[in-house]
């Protein structure tokens, strides 16, 4: 059994370890062997914590279970603090930036018995929706090596898709959990802003207001069950993040009504994406849900205000980032700044509009407690298409048309695969009102129970 343990989900491994059918050492070693076998093809794992992971596994095997992930390995994106390894943010300048303490999400995973196995790749400062940097190199999509694995948590996405880890941690200010979930065919939970604390001991600069109102940390996995376990472990107030909230993990019963979204403001969705969304609607209808095609309020305006919230701070950060980031990544940032010039809107207008849009979406959720739409509004692009001087900005923004509501409005979402079309994963995104991660997870779990999982896979080479 041990040779194939890397194929199993985190909750399955936890059950096997708890019942002593397998040891934690066997589980960790199986994943280390898998990393050795396939990481060279996708470059998802940047640092393997083999020695410390095996020692922790031996301690887990000698002890009584300490939590729901006792003895299960997990991986951590390289912009999340994990003691014993550098928090690089994908920058050569931070190659040796060692954190003094674990981030709360890492500490809470460890407290649940999970074992850090390795660090995963990201773009410089997490500021592209693909995964490449001068320090660690490019992460390839395991389904098609010519296409992006998504970003910025692309290393996590590719590692999960290929069985190198059963569960991982990433973060999201513009889809960075959900983008690689879509591209790699795995699942991710983007929580409500404030649900899961976000604390960095090695920030590159002071965290701006856009970071506080839009960025979250969250789990990535191959199964919705694993997302739900991690959600319960990671949620809750932390003194290092005074904006985190000890909100109830579940809300009251909601009407079984869902809106499906098949039209975008700036482009036509791929046929495979429309088919996946409609298939999700059919699954819900078969389960007794009322489903209707409907579009939530002002998607184009949501995209615009999201960009302005980000750019209001980005223009201040660019001078600090210029000495440490590559020319291509900087050109992309300058292109986004030109597209949504911060000088055209003042802070009061931006945040007044954000509040107005949040109220409008809350009203929509009263009619449709769940919204199902695309994750990306287009297919995974070819490597570096986002850096093309003529079309790179459009390549990025077009794909984020249904991503940005989650960040601007702070609402939760689950990105979920729905199958494979023409050799690439397809999937949907499930939105609900703030603090209703439980609805997102319930619907995603129902969909997964009907359509199944599509990973892990051997990387195409």
Q: Which residues contact 9 (CB under 8 A, 6 or more apart)?
A: 166, 167, 221, 222, 223, 225, 226
What is the arithmetic mean of pLDDT over 113-140?
Answer: 98
363 CB-near residues (< 8 Å, 6+ apart): 297
DSSP 225-256: HHHHHHHHHH-S-BTTBTT-----SS-----S
Mean pLDDT of 44-51: 98
Tell whether the model's pLDDT for residue 35 goes beyond 80: yes
Q: What is the pLDDT of residue 282?
A: 98
Please name which of 275, 279, 281 lies closest in space to residue 257, comparing C-alpha atoms.
Answer: 281
Q: How far apart are CA 38 and CA 32, in angstroms?
A: 10
Residues with catalytic roles: 77, 152, 176
Q: Per-residue b/e over 33-55, b at no fewer than 16 CB within 10 Å?
A: ebbeebbebbbbbbbbbbeebbe
Tokens of 415: 């990105």
Backbone angles phi, psi at 54, to 5 degrees: -70, -40
Task: Report helix angle 50-62 to 24-42, nearest 10.
Answer: 160
207 falls in which pLDDT band (50, 70, 90)? confident
Position 366 scores a pLDDT of 98
Band (pLDDT 50/70/90 cuts) for residue 116 is very high
Structure letter (DSSP) for residue 206: P
* 3 pLDDT tier (thresholds 50, 70, 90): low
List, for residues 414-461, the tens digit of each pLDDT value. 999 999 999 999 999 999 999 999 999 999 999 999 999 999 999 998
Buried residues in 166-204 as b, exposed as e (16+ CB within 10 A): bbbbbbbbbbbbbbbbbbbbbbbbbbbbbbbbbbbebeb
Would you state the pLDDT for residue 204? 67
Reference 306, options 298, 318, 316; nearest CA is 298
Residue 1 confidence class, pLDDT cut points 50, 70, 90? low
**Token pair of 2 as six digits:** 């041990």
Per-domain residue ranges of the chain: 2-451
Question: Confidence class of residue 205 from pLDDT cuts 50, 70 and 90?
Answer: low
pLDDT of 195 higher than 70 = yes
pLDDT band at 2; cut points 50, 70, 90: low
pLDDT digits (tens, 9 = 90+) for 287-303: 999 999 999 999 999 99
pLDDT tens figures, 312-324: 999 999 999 999 9
Res 138: pLDDT: 98
CATH superfamily of 2-451: Amidase signature (AS) domain (3.90.1300.10)
Res. 306 pLDDT band, cuts 50 70 90: very high
Alpha-carbon dihedral sign for residues 246, 182, 222, 125: negative
Contact 141, 121 (CB under 8 A): no
Q: 220 CB contacts (<8 Å, ≥6 apart)?
A: 153, 156, 157, 160, 167, 168, 169, 170, 177, 180, 181, 186, 187, 188, 189
Give the mean model confidence (pLDDT) for residues 272-292: 98
Q: Which residue has the tokens 């919705």?
A: 224
Per-residue pLDDT, averaged over 44-60, amounts to 98
Q: What is the arithmetic mean of pLDDT over 316-344?
A: 96
Are 370 and 432 in contact by the 8 Å Cβ rule? The answer is yes
d(CA 379, CA 399): 8
Averaged pLDDT score across all residues of the chain: 97
Look up the pTM and report it.
Answer: 0.98
pLDDT bin (cut points 50, 70, 90) of residue 215 is very high
- For 141-185, the pLDDT digits (tens) are 999 999 999 999 999 999 999 999 999 999 999 999 999 999 999
Structure tokens at 404: 């940005």
So what's the pLDDT on residue 202?
79
C-alpha span between 450 and 318 (Å, rounded): 46
> What is the secondary structure of 251-309 as a DSSP string?
-----SEEEE----SSSPPPHHHHHHHHHHHHHHHHTT-EEEE---TTHHHHHHHHHHH
Region at 382 (left for phi over 0; alpha for psi -120 to 50; beta for the rest): beta
């Amino acid at each position: 059994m041990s040779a194939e343990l890397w194929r199993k989900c985190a909750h399955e491994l936890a059950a096997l370890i708890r019942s002593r059918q397998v040891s934690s050492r066997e589980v960790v070693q199986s994943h280390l062997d898998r990393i050795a076998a396939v990481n060279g093809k996708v470059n998802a794992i940047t640092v393997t914590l083999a020695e410390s992971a095996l020692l922790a596994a031996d301690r887990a095997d000698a002890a009584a279970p300490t939590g729901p992930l006792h003895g299960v390995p997990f991986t951590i994106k390289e912009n999340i603090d994990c003691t014993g390894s550098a928090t690089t943010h994908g920058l050569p300048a931070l190659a040796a930036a060692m954190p003094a303490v674990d981030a709360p999400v890492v500490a809470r995973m460890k407290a649940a018995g999970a074992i850090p196995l390795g660090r995963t790749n990201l773009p410089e400062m997490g500021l592209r929706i693909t995964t490449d940097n001068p320090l660690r190199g490019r992460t390839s999509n395991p389904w098609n090596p010519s296409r992006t694995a998504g970003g910025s948590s692309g290393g996590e996405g590719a590692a999960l898709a290929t069985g190198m880890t059963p569960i991982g941690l990433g973060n999201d200010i513009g889809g960075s959990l959900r983008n690689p979930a879509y591209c790699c065919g795995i699942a991710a939970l983007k929580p409500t802003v404030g649900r899961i604390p976000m604390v960095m001991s090695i920030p590159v600069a002071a965290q701006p207001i856009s970071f506080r109102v839009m960025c979250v940390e969250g789990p990535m996995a191959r199964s919705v069950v694993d997302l739900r376990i991690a959600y319960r472990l990671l949620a809750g107030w932390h003194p290092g993040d005074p904006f985190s909230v000890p909100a109830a993990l579940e809300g009251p019963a909601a009407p079984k009504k869902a809106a499906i979204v098949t039209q975008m403001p700036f482009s036509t969705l791929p046929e495979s994406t429309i088919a996946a969304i409609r298939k999700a609607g059919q699954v819900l209808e078969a389960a007794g849900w009322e489903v209707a095609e409907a579009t939530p309020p002002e998607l184009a305006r949501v995209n615009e205000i999201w960009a302005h919230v980000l750019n209001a701070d980005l223009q201040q950060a660019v001078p600090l980032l210029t000495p440490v980031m590559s020319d291509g990544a900087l050109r992309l940032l300058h292109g986004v700044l030109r597209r949504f010039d911060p000088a055209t809107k003042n802070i009061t207008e931006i945040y007044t509009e954000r509040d107005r849009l949040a109220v409008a979406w809350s009203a929509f959720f009263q009619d449709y407690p769940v919204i199902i739409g695309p994750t990306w509004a287009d297919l995974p692009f070819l490597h570096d298409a986002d850096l093309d001087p003529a079309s790179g900005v459009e390549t990025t923004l077009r794909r984020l048309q249904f991503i940005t509501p989650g960040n601007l409005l702070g609402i939760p979402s689950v990105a979920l695969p729905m199958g494979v079309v023409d050799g690439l994963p397809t999937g949907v995104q499930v939105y609900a009102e703030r603090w209703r991660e439980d609805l997102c997870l319930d619907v995603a779990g129902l969909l997964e129970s009907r359509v199944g999982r599509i990973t892990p896979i051997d990387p195409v080479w």
